[in-house]
Amino acid sequence: MAAAEGLAFLQRLTGCAETRIASVDVSIFMHSSHSLDLAEDERVYLSVRDLRRRDADQLIKLGKGCHIQGLDLDATLFLRAWACRAENPFDADPQDMRICGEIRVPVHRLVTHWNSMLYHTWLTLDSPGLHDSVASIGLMTAADDGAELDQRLVNGPRQLFQPKVLVSICRMDDVAASGKLVMAKDAPDDVRASQWGPLLLSQQHHAIMSSALHLHRSQSGSKTAGQQNEKQEQQIRALRQQLETQSADMAQFKGQVQDGGTSPSVREFRVDVGKGDPMESLEAELAAQAQELKMLREAVVRRAQAKAASGAFSEVEEMRDSNARREHQIHAMRGESNKVREEASKKVEAASDRIEAIRVEKQEALQECDKLQADTRKVAAQRDELARERNRLSEQKEALLKIVEDLHQACNIAGLPQENRPSITMNFGIS
């Protein structure tokens, strides 16, 4: 069914009902990777094979490609990303290589939906073995691979932290003599029209991914600035609470001094009223309390003088000034983050406008292509009609020549003179 859809699409594309394609030669290139879980000294490689064959996987280095010949239209390419420390993966121990992700690419889907080519396109990868596990419980069939490929092409530039690879898949005829996939400026119009869709998809992928990365970076910067601001505000609140606590302690201490509290040192000056003269005992107690109050007042004055001398109050003022400067910096950082956010929004809008303009150009190019194909079919039909007319004239000519030959023979049999015959040959244009 998949091969029939691909064949029908090719027949519509070429305008010829006699199109027969049994297989196609395919080239695959790996250009880059993103968000793969790699160690510091690990390299990325891509393996490719046809699931319908038992051939060994072909390994591709970064920036290189491979070729598969005789690939059926209903075949499926199995791509897996590998991590390896060895510079040459062909000589590496298989135990030193590990799979980072995999994806299936149905060939018929490329032909019918993606113009038979992927050019510098991001593809998100599945976890190793996930596809087989889901298929084993009946939640996915082979027919779902096409829709899954479409979804991965949509999510490729949008899911920044999903493992992905940047690949190109095309026919071997599209590869230049240098072994690279290059879209030449002097290519024929039909080739440039067929490559327009993959080129536009690649441009959209890179524009969307660039905007997403810029937006993520802006949001991360704003979040870090907000955390710093919150930490500074907590420090300011702690300093204010400490100052309030110290002020309360000072007020409580002064209140105790002014109220004449019953501290242990005061109680030590009390005397037993039952002994001696009560009046003398009361006077002695009052004198002792007055002395204690005097000592406490002097202690408070000395403590205040000591704090003033040590610069405690000046330190508080410096801290207040420092907090004011920090608050000013916080406001400045908030204004800068808002400015960056506005610039990011403007760039996203500009990118959207560019994408929309390119989409309109693509639609116009497709309409022009359809018009040219219709004209081509019309000219072909006229050519076939002229060919049939030529064949009919040739048949009539042969019939007339046959009649002339029969008349010539009849004249010979009847013994007619030769002088009367040239007029017949001249009339029929026979030399």
Q: What are phi and psi of 126, to 5 degrees?
A: -85, 160
pLDDT, tens only, 113-158: 888 899 999 999 999 988 887 777 766 666 677 889 999 999 999 9
Task: Count CA atoms closer than 13 A to 344's CA, side-chain side.
Answer: 19
Q: What residue segments make up the domains of the chain, in order of their start?
A: 2-182, 215-358
Section 237-262 average pLDDT: 60
Quick one: pLDDT at residue 262? Answer: 43
| Cα angle: 175, vertex 152, 346; to 5 degrees | 95
64/86 Cα distance (integer angstroms): 17
Q: What are phi and psi of 33, to 5 degrees?
A: -145, 165
156/205 Cα distance (integer angstroms): 7
CA nearest to 224, candidates 130, 313, 340, 305: 340
Most distant pair of Cα atoms in the chain: their distance: 196
pLDDT, tens only, 147-191: 899 999 999 999 888 999 999 999 998 998 888 888 888 888 888
Which residue type, as a one-letter code, is found at position 419? E
pTM of the entire predicted model: 0.49
Three-state DSSP class for residue 115 = coil
Q: Reply yes or no on domain 2-182 having CATH 2.60.40.150.
A: yes
100: buried, middle or exposed (CB in 10 Å: 19+, 13-18, 0-12)?
buried
Quick one: pLDDT at residue 136? Answer: 73
Task: Count CA atoms closer than 13 A to 209's CA, side-chain side.
Answer: 24
